[in-house]
Structure 1
Amino acid sequence: MAEGPGHQGVPEEEQPAATSAVPLPRAADAAAVHRVARRRKREKVQRTERVDVRYSVDEKAEILTEARALNIAAAHYVGAIVMAHIHGELIFPGQRTPLDDYIDELTALRQQVAKIGHNVNQIAKKFNSGGDPHPGDTAGLAQAERTLTAAATAVRHIAAAANEALTQRAT
Protein backbone atom coordinates (compact mmCIF):
# COMPACT_ATOMS: atom_id res chain seq x y z
CA MET A 1 0.00 0.00 0.00
CA ALA A 2 1.31 3.48 -0.82
CA GLU A 3 2.35 5.68 2.05
CA GLY A 4 0.66 9.04 2.54
CA PRO A 5 2.59 12.29 2.87
CA GLY A 6 5.45 12.28 5.32
CA HIS A 7 8.02 9.66 6.14
CA GLN A 8 7.40 5.98 6.76
CA GLY A 9 7.22 5.23 10.46
CA VAL A 10 7.10 8.87 11.55
CA PRO A 11 4.07 9.58 13.77
CA GLU A 12 1.58 12.03 12.28
CA GLU A 13 2.34 14.81 14.74
CA GLU A 14 6.04 14.65 13.79
CA GLN A 15 5.53 14.69 10.04
CA PRO A 16 6.62 17.84 8.24
CA ALA A 17 3.84 20.39 7.84
CA ALA A 18 2.37 20.62 4.35
CA THR A 19 3.39 23.77 2.56
CA SER A 20 0.56 25.94 1.35
CA ALA A 21 1.31 25.77 -2.34
CA VAL A 22 0.22 28.68 -4.48
CA PRO A 23 -1.39 27.29 -7.64
CA LEU A 24 0.85 27.83 -10.63
CA PRO A 25 -0.63 29.72 -13.57
CA ARG A 26 -1.55 27.43 -16.43
CA ALA A 27 0.39 27.98 -19.63
CA ALA A 28 -2.86 28.15 -21.59
CA ASP A 29 -4.14 30.94 -19.35
CA ALA A 30 -0.95 32.95 -19.79
CA ALA A 31 -1.08 32.40 -23.56
CA ALA A 32 -4.72 33.53 -23.69
CA VAL A 33 -3.89 36.73 -21.80
CA HIS A 34 -0.98 37.38 -24.15
CA ARG A 35 -3.24 36.85 -27.21
CA VAL A 36 -5.83 39.21 -25.76
CA ALA A 37 -3.21 41.84 -24.97
CA ARG A 38 -1.67 41.59 -28.43
CA ARG A 39 -5.09 41.79 -30.11
CA ARG A 40 -5.58 45.41 -29.04
CA LYS A 41 -4.98 47.51 -32.14
CA ARG A 42 -3.00 50.69 -32.25
CA GLU A 43 -5.01 53.80 -32.97
CA LYS A 44 -3.92 56.18 -35.74
CA VAL A 45 -3.90 58.95 -33.16
CA GLN A 46 -2.67 58.72 -29.63
CA ARG A 47 -5.22 57.67 -27.05
CA THR A 48 -6.00 60.59 -24.78
CA GLU A 49 -8.88 59.40 -22.63
CA ARG A 50 -8.00 58.21 -19.14
CA VAL A 51 -9.62 56.11 -16.48
CA ASP A 52 -7.99 56.42 -13.12
CA VAL A 53 -7.86 53.27 -11.04
CA ARG A 54 -6.39 52.71 -7.63
CA TYR A 55 -4.54 49.53 -6.74
CA SER A 56 -2.92 48.30 -3.58
CA VAL A 57 0.87 48.09 -3.62
CA ASP A 58 0.66 44.30 -4.04
CA GLU A 59 -1.91 44.52 -6.87
CA LYS A 60 0.23 47.06 -8.72
CA ALA A 61 3.29 44.85 -8.33
CA GLU A 62 1.38 41.86 -9.74
CA ILE A 63 0.13 43.92 -12.70
CA LEU A 64 3.63 45.19 -13.46
CA THR A 65 5.08 41.68 -13.18
CA GLU A 66 2.52 40.24 -15.61
CA ALA A 67 2.93 43.14 -18.05
CA ARG A 68 6.72 42.74 -18.03
CA ALA A 69 6.35 38.96 -18.55
CA LEU A 70 4.25 39.70 -21.64
CA ASN A 71 6.67 42.43 -22.74
CA ILE A 72 3.98 45.12 -22.87
CA ALA A 73 3.27 48.28 -20.94
CA ALA A 74 1.18 47.95 -17.78
CA ALA A 75 -1.44 50.37 -19.14
CA HIS A 76 -1.67 48.32 -22.34
CA TYR A 77 -2.05 45.13 -20.25
CA VAL A 78 -4.81 46.57 -18.06
CA GLY A 79 -6.59 48.12 -21.06
CA ALA A 80 -6.44 44.88 -23.05
CA ILE A 81 -7.81 42.83 -20.17
CA VAL A 82 -10.65 45.27 -19.53
CA MET A 83 -11.61 45.44 -23.22
CA ALA A 84 -11.44 41.63 -23.55
CA HIS A 85 -13.86 41.32 -20.65
CA ILE A 86 -16.18 43.95 -22.12
CA HIS A 87 -16.21 42.09 -25.46
CA GLY A 88 -16.96 38.76 -23.76
CA GLU A 89 -13.56 37.22 -24.54
CA LEU A 90 -12.50 36.94 -20.91
CA ILE A 91 -14.44 35.51 -18.00
CA PHE A 92 -13.42 36.17 -14.44
CA PRO A 93 -13.29 33.37 -11.88
CA GLY A 94 -16.66 33.07 -10.19
CA GLN A 95 -18.49 34.87 -13.00
CA ARG A 96 -21.67 33.12 -14.14
CA THR A 97 -21.77 32.00 -17.72
CA PRO A 98 -24.48 30.52 -19.94
CA LEU A 99 -22.85 27.15 -19.21
CA ASP A 100 -23.51 27.69 -15.49
CA ASP A 101 -27.18 28.37 -16.29
CA TYR A 102 -27.29 25.20 -18.40
CA ILE A 103 -25.81 23.14 -15.55
CA ASP A 104 -28.38 24.58 -13.12
CA GLU A 105 -31.21 23.76 -15.53
CA LEU A 106 -29.97 20.19 -15.91
CA THR A 107 -29.74 19.80 -12.14
CA ALA A 108 -33.30 21.05 -11.69
CA LEU A 109 -34.55 18.78 -14.49
CA ARG A 110 -32.80 15.77 -12.95
CA GLN A 111 -34.48 16.49 -9.61
CA GLN A 112 -37.91 16.77 -11.25
CA VAL A 113 -37.53 13.50 -13.17
CA ALA A 114 -36.28 11.79 -10.00
CA LYS A 115 -39.45 12.97 -8.23
CA ILE A 116 -41.54 11.41 -10.99
CA GLY A 117 -39.71 8.14 -10.40
CA HIS A 118 -40.34 8.42 -6.66
CA ASN A 119 -44.07 8.99 -7.25
CA VAL A 120 -44.30 6.00 -9.61
CA ASN A 121 -42.46 3.92 -7.02
CA GLN A 122 -45.09 4.90 -4.44
CA ILE A 123 -47.84 3.80 -6.85
CA ALA A 124 -46.12 0.44 -7.35
CA LYS A 125 -45.80 0.06 -3.58
CA LYS A 126 -49.55 0.63 -3.25
CA PHE A 127 -50.22 -2.04 -5.91
CA ASN A 128 -47.98 -4.48 -4.00
CA SER A 129 -49.40 -3.69 -0.54
CA GLY A 130 -51.29 -6.95 -0.35
CA GLY A 131 -54.92 -7.80 -0.40
CA ASP A 132 -56.83 -9.15 -3.35
CA PRO A 133 -55.47 -7.89 -6.66
CA HIS A 134 -57.82 -5.98 -8.90
CA PRO A 135 -58.10 -6.82 -12.61
CA GLY A 136 -55.92 -3.82 -13.67
CA ASP A 137 -53.21 -4.25 -11.03
CA THR A 138 -50.94 -6.43 -13.18
CA ALA A 139 -51.10 -4.04 -16.10
CA GLY A 140 -50.61 -1.07 -13.74
CA LEU A 141 -47.53 -2.71 -12.18
CA ALA A 142 -46.07 -3.46 -15.60
CA GLN A 143 -46.58 0.16 -16.68
CA ALA A 144 -45.10 1.42 -13.39
CA GLU A 145 -42.00 -0.70 -14.00
CA ARG A 146 -41.59 0.67 -17.56
CA THR A 147 -42.05 4.23 -16.28
CA LEU A 148 -39.52 3.70 -13.47
CA THR A 149 -37.01 2.32 -15.95
CA ALA A 150 -37.53 5.29 -18.28
CA ALA A 151 -37.23 7.78 -15.40
CA ALA A 152 -34.03 6.14 -14.13
CA THR A 153 -32.55 6.22 -17.64
CA ALA A 154 -33.51 9.87 -18.04
CA VAL A 155 -31.93 10.75 -14.68
CA ARG A 156 -28.68 8.99 -15.71
CA HIS A 157 -28.58 10.80 -19.07
CA ILE A 158 -29.30 14.18 -17.49
CA ALA A 159 -26.61 13.59 -14.85
CA ALA A 160 -24.13 12.60 -17.58
CA ALA A 161 -24.94 15.79 -19.53
CA ALA A 162 -24.46 17.89 -16.38
CA ASN A 163 -21.13 16.18 -15.66
CA GLU A 164 -19.98 16.79 -19.22
CA ALA A 165 -20.94 20.46 -18.90
CA LEU A 166 -19.01 20.68 -15.64
CA THR A 167 -15.99 19.19 -17.38
CA GLN A 168 -16.31 21.76 -20.18
CA ARG A 169 -16.55 24.59 -17.63
CA ALA A 170 -13.42 23.40 -15.85
CA THR A 171 -11.32 23.55 -19.03
Structure 2
Amino acid sequence: MAEELGHQGVPEQEQPDHAAVPLQRAADAAALHRVAHRRQREAVQRKERVDVRYSVDEKTAILREARSLNIAGAHYVGAVVMAHVHGDLALPGQRTQLDDYIDELNALRIDVARIGNNVNQIARRLNTGGDPHLVDTTLLARAEQTLGTVRATVGDIARAMNSAVSTKATS
Protein backbone atom coordinates (compact mmCIF):
# COMPACT_ATOMS: atom_id res chain seq x y z
CA MET A 1 0.00 0.00 0.00
CA ALA A 2 2.90 2.39 0.70
CA GLU A 3 4.07 2.09 -2.91
CA GLU A 4 0.57 2.95 -4.15
CA LEU A 5 0.59 6.15 -2.10
CA GLY A 6 4.00 7.19 -3.40
CA HIS A 7 5.89 6.45 -0.19
CA GLN A 8 8.31 4.12 -2.03
CA GLY A 9 8.92 1.75 0.85
CA VAL A 10 8.94 4.30 3.66
CA PRO A 11 7.42 2.52 6.67
CA GLU A 12 4.13 3.79 8.01
CA GLN A 13 4.50 5.27 11.48
CA GLU A 14 1.95 5.02 14.23
CA GLN A 15 0.75 8.37 15.46
CA PRO A 16 -0.05 9.09 19.11
CA ASP A 17 -3.73 9.59 19.93
CA HIS A 18 -3.15 13.01 21.47
CA ALA A 19 -0.44 14.92 19.62
CA ALA A 20 0.49 18.15 21.39
CA VAL A 21 -0.11 21.17 19.19
CA PRO A 22 2.21 24.06 20.05
CA LEU A 23 0.59 27.48 20.22
CA GLN A 24 1.57 29.86 17.45
CA ARG A 25 2.22 33.50 18.26
CA ALA A 26 0.22 36.08 16.33
CA ALA A 27 3.42 37.84 15.21
CA ASP A 28 4.78 34.60 13.74
CA ALA A 29 1.55 34.00 11.85
CA ALA A 30 1.58 37.56 10.49
CA ALA A 31 5.20 37.22 9.36
CA LEU A 32 4.44 33.96 7.56
CA HIS A 33 1.41 35.53 5.92
CA ARG A 34 3.54 38.42 4.61
CA VAL A 35 6.24 36.05 3.34
CA ALA A 36 3.77 33.72 1.64
CA HIS A 37 1.97 36.52 -0.15
CA ARG A 38 5.17 38.29 -1.24
CA ARG A 39 6.06 35.54 -3.72
CA GLN A 40 5.10 36.87 -7.13
CA ARG A 41 3.71 34.78 -9.95
CA GLU A 42 5.94 34.46 -12.96
CA ALA A 43 4.83 35.08 -16.54
CA VAL A 44 5.71 31.48 -17.39
CA GLN A 45 4.60 28.51 -15.34
CA ARG A 46 7.26 27.21 -12.95
CA LYS A 47 8.38 23.81 -14.18
CA GLU A 48 11.42 22.97 -12.06
CA ARG A 49 10.79 20.61 -9.15
CA VAL A 50 12.50 19.82 -5.92
CA ASP A 51 11.28 16.66 -4.26
CA VAL A 52 11.00 16.78 -0.51
CA ARG A 53 9.80 14.17 1.95
CA TYR A 54 7.72 15.08 4.98
CA SER A 55 6.32 13.02 7.79
CA VAL A 56 2.54 12.77 7.91
CA ASP A 57 2.48 15.29 10.77
CA GLU A 58 4.75 17.74 8.92
CA LYS A 59 2.65 17.55 5.77
CA THR A 60 -0.56 18.03 7.75
CA ALA A 61 0.91 21.08 9.49
CA ILE A 62 2.13 22.56 6.18
CA LEU A 63 -1.25 22.11 4.51
CA ARG A 64 -3.10 23.46 7.57
CA GLU A 65 -0.95 26.60 7.57
CA ALA A 66 -1.31 27.05 3.79
CA ARG A 67 -5.11 26.73 4.08
CA SER A 68 -5.16 29.31 6.88
CA LEU A 69 -3.34 31.70 4.51
CA ASN A 70 -5.68 30.78 1.67
CA ILE A 71 -2.89 29.57 -0.61
CA ALA A 72 -1.75 26.22 -2.02
CA GLY A 73 0.67 24.08 -0.01
CA ALA A 74 3.31 24.21 -2.76
CA HIS A 75 3.03 28.01 -2.91
CA TYR A 76 3.43 28.20 0.85
CA VAL A 77 6.51 25.93 0.92
CA GLY A 78 8.05 27.77 -2.05
CA ALA A 79 7.46 31.18 -0.48
CA VAL A 80 8.95 30.19 2.86
CA VAL A 81 11.99 28.54 1.25
CA MET A 82 12.64 31.54 -1.01
CA ALA A 83 12.20 33.93 1.92
CA HIS A 84 14.93 32.03 3.75
CA VAL A 85 17.15 31.97 0.66
CA HIS A 86 16.80 35.77 0.38
CA GLY A 87 17.56 36.27 4.09
CA ASP A 88 14.05 37.35 5.10
CA LEU A 89 13.37 34.35 7.30
CA ALA A 90 15.64 32.60 9.80
CA LEU A 91 15.46 28.90 10.51
CA PRO A 92 14.81 27.79 14.10
CA GLY A 93 18.11 27.70 15.92
CA GLN A 94 19.85 29.94 13.38
CA ARG A 95 21.71 32.86 14.92
CA THR A 96 21.02 36.33 13.65
CA GLN A 97 22.79 39.68 14.10
CA LEU A 98 20.14 40.50 16.67
CA ASP A 99 21.13 37.41 18.68
CA ASP A 100 24.76 38.58 18.61
CA TYR A 101 23.67 42.08 19.67
CA ILE A 102 21.69 40.71 22.61
CA ASP A 103 24.66 38.57 23.70
CA GLU A 104 27.02 41.55 23.45
CA LEU A 105 24.66 43.69 25.54
CA ASN A 106 24.43 40.95 28.14
CA ALA A 107 28.23 40.65 28.35
CA LEU A 108 28.51 44.45 28.63
CA ARG A 109 25.88 44.52 31.39
CA ILE A 110 27.82 41.87 33.33
CA ASP A 111 31.11 43.78 32.94
CA VAL A 112 29.58 47.09 34.06
CA ALA A 113 27.90 45.38 37.03
CA ARG A 114 31.31 43.95 38.04
CA ILE A 115 32.75 47.47 38.01
CA GLY A 116 29.92 48.50 40.33
CA ASN A 117 30.67 45.58 42.65
CA ASN A 118 34.33 46.57 42.79
CA VAL A 119 33.49 50.21 43.56
CA ASN A 120 31.06 49.04 46.23
CA GLN A 121 33.78 46.90 47.86
CA ILE A 122 36.15 49.89 47.85
CA ALA A 123 33.49 52.07 49.49
CA ARG A 124 32.75 49.38 52.08
CA ARG A 125 36.46 49.11 52.89
CA LEU A 126 36.77 52.86 53.29
CA ASN A 127 33.71 52.98 55.55
CA THR A 128 35.03 50.33 57.97
CA GLY A 129 38.21 52.19 58.92
CA GLY A 130 36.78 54.28 61.79
CA ASP A 131 37.19 58.05 61.43
CA PRO A 132 37.44 58.86 57.72
CA HIS A 133 40.37 60.92 56.45
CA LEU A 134 39.80 63.84 54.12
CA VAL A 135 40.99 61.69 51.20
CA ASP A 136 38.57 58.91 52.21
CA THR A 137 35.64 61.33 52.18
CA THR A 138 36.53 62.48 48.66
CA LEU A 139 36.94 58.87 47.53
CA LEU A 140 33.61 57.90 49.08
CA ALA A 141 31.85 60.75 47.27
CA ARG A 142 33.46 59.70 44.00
CA ALA A 143 32.53 56.05 44.64
CA GLU A 144 28.91 57.05 45.28
CA GLN A 145 28.88 59.04 42.03
CA THR A 146 30.42 56.10 40.15
CA LEU A 147 27.87 53.67 41.63
CA GLY A 148 25.05 55.96 40.45
CA THR A 149 26.54 55.98 36.95
CA VAL A 150 26.95 52.19 37.00
CA ARG A 151 23.32 51.69 38.11
CA ALA A 152 22.08 54.01 35.35
CA THR A 153 24.29 52.28 32.76
CA VAL A 154 23.13 48.81 33.78
CA GLY A 155 19.52 50.05 33.56
CA ASP A 156 20.14 51.50 30.08
CA ILE A 157 21.74 48.27 28.91
CA ALA A 158 18.84 46.24 30.33
CA ARG A 159 16.34 48.46 28.49
CA ALA A 160 18.30 48.06 25.24
CA MET A 161 18.32 44.28 25.74
CA ASN A 162 14.58 44.22 26.42
CA SER A 163 13.97 46.28 23.29
CA ALA A 164 16.13 43.94 21.20
CA VAL A 165 14.40 40.87 22.60
CA SER A 166 11.01 42.45 21.85
CA THR A 167 12.16 43.25 18.31
CA LYS A 168 13.34 39.67 17.87
CA ALA A 169 10.04 38.27 19.16
CA THR A 170 8.03 40.32 16.68
CA SER A 171 10.21 39.58 13.66
Q: TM-score range by the shorter chain?
A: 0.7 to 0.9
- State how far apart, in whole Å, the 2-side matches of 1:54 and 1:21 are: 22
- Aligned pairs for 1:1-171 within 5 A: 22-130=21-129, 133-171=132-170
Q: TM-score, normalised by structure 2?
A: 0.74
Taking structure 1 as reference, are residues 65 and 138 closer, same or farther at Cα in structure 2, changes over 3 Å only? Answer: closer
Q: What residue ranges of structure 1 are gaps of 5+ in the alignment?
A: 1-18
The alignment yields a C-alpha RMSD, in angstroms, of 2.6
Taking structure 1 as reference, are residues 137 and 68 closer, same or farther at Cα in structure 2, changes over 3 Å only? Answer: closer
Taking structure 1 as reference, are residues 151 and 20 closer, same or farther at Cα in structure 2, changes over 3 Å only? Answer: farther
Taking structure 1 as reference, are residues 21 and 79 closer, same or farther at Cα in structure 2, changes over 3 Å only? Answer: closer
- State how far apart, in whole Å, the 2-side matches of 1:147 and 1:73 are: 61
Shift of 1:132: 6.0
- State how far apart, in whole Å, the 2-side matches of 1:50 and 1:62 are: 21
Taking structure 1 as reference, are residues 129 and 35 closer, same or farther at Cα in structure 2, changes over 3 Å only? Answer: closer
Q: What residue ranges of structure 2 are gaps of 5+ in the alignment?
A: 1-17
Which range moves more in the overlay, 49-58 or 111-120? 49-58
Higher relative CO (Cα under 8 Å, sequence separation at least 6) belongs to 2
- State how far apart, in whole Å, the 1-side matches of 2:45 and 2:96 are: 35
- State how far apart, in whole Å, the 1-side matches of 2:142 and 2:27 are: 52
Shift of 1:136: 1.7
Identity rate of aligned residues, in percent? 68
SS in 2 for 1:55: coil
Q: TM-score, normalised by structure 1?
A: 0.74
